[in-house]
Amino acid sequence: MTVADARRRPLVSTIVIFLGGAAFLGEAIESVIAQSYPEWELLLVDDGSTDGASEIARAYASRHDGRIRYLHHDGHRNRGMSASRNLGLQHAKGTIVAFLDGDDVWLPGKLDVQVSLLEAHPAADATCGSTRVWYGWTGRPEDAARDGVRKVLDSPDGLHRPPEMLRRYLRDEALTPATCSVLIRRSALSKTGGFEERFKGMYEDQAFFFKSFLHLAYYVTAESYDSYRQHADSHSAVALRTGRYFLDRPSAAMADLYVWFVRYFVRERVRDLELWKALLVKVRAIGMHWVRKGAHRFMETVDRPTRLVFAVWYRLRHAAQGEQP
């Protein structure tokens, strides 16, 4: 490829968000700089770091003037992952957008391959692939043995028009991709409304992908071009330790997410009865967990809109069975 050809290829705006993580941020940034694809810009969005990560980001921005930019919220506040990604989107100049968290990394050919996929499939609004679940970054053989692959689909590579990906997701036939896996055409982001800022940490990616699966066409591949680092200080690891997230049962945060899904369906005037049925099956499963756990204790853990939705569900369930709630 000539230099002139390279210049005609689309600019990719890469948004890296971080809150602390000074130990890993430089490696994430270097994985963008090392891309074989030449047309990228990097937006480093600081969500209120206090551990030296801010200084690392500013140093990279000063050495790569214009191509790497440092952003932060007013007052250097911590506003959460969704607001930070939205801040990056507001400043993005590229026609394609990619995301990377400050503790994850890309393989050198990621952008080259995935931009080519979007160019080869003009009907695709976005593309994503599998992601390495990366324990082996420590260098210890026992950690490397735990490495795995997060697959979005088990089916062959292909284009999925909306709302097929959402249908599969609600039927437990697909996962949402790791955020670091996705490239999205910037023109398509207007259909999603960006990231939901009410989700500051838990499930913020699920809410975004729920919206994008409903509205966007995805080209999904089984290939992996990125690594999702597993470590004790990650947001999900901390949530697991503190009881805000569980591997084997619904949490209050998950209940809140699915109630938001219902409200989003109503707001978007979704008329697909198959999608509604699949979503309400999910809500029912969380409601049954609430019944088994005990209504009083469950209701104490969720916000008011979520309490109202599940209270209505509970009464309708008993009314259908001819019981008194």
pLDDT tens per residue across span 188-219: 999 999 999 999 878 999 999 999 999 999 99
Q: Please, which pLDDT band fits residue 18 given cuts at 50, 70 and 90? A: very high
- Both tokens assigned to 313: 């569900």
CATH class belonging to 10-232 = alpha beta
pLDDT given for residue 297 in this prediction: 55
Q: How far is residue 193's CA from residue 136's CA, in Å, rounded to a whole number?
A: 36
pLDDT given for residue 287 in this prediction: 73
Q: Please, which pLDDT band fits residue 81 given cuts at 50, 70 and 90? A: very high
Residue 65 pLDDT greater than 90, yes or no: no
pLDDT given for residue 324 in this prediction: 46
Mean pLDDT across the chain, nearest whole number?
88
Residue 318 pLDDT greater than 80, yes or no: no
Q: How far is residue 185's CA from residue 189's CA, in Å, rounded to a whole number?
A: 7
Q: How far is residue 97's CA from residue 89's CA, in Å, rounded to a whole number?
A: 8
> Which is higher by pLDDT, 319 or 8?
8
pLDDT given for residue 268 in this prediction: 96
* Percent with pLDDT over 90 in the chain: 72
Neighbours of 79 (CB within 10 A): 18
pLDDT 10s digits, 117-170: 999 999 999 999 999 999 999 999 999 999 999 999 999 999 999 999 999 999
Residue 42 pLDDT greater than 60, yes or no: yes
Nearest residue to 181 (alpha-carbon basis) of 235, 115, 110:
110
Neighbours of 142 (CB within 10 A): 9
Please state the length of the chain: 325
- Domain boundaries along the sequence of the chain: 10-232, 246-320
pLDDT 10s digits, 134-144: 999 999 999 99
Q: Give the SS3 label for residue 153.
A: coil
Q: Please, which pLDDT band fits residue 50 given cuts at 50, 70 and 90? A: very high
Out of 1-10, 19-28, 219-228, pick the least confident.
Answer: 1-10
* 201: alpha, beta or left? (left if phi > 0; alpha if psi -120 to 50): alpha
Could you tell me the pTM of the whole model? 0.86
- The DSSP bridge pattern shows strands 148-150 and 126-134 to be antiparallel
- Say if residues 43 and 88 touch (Cβ distance below 8 Å): yes
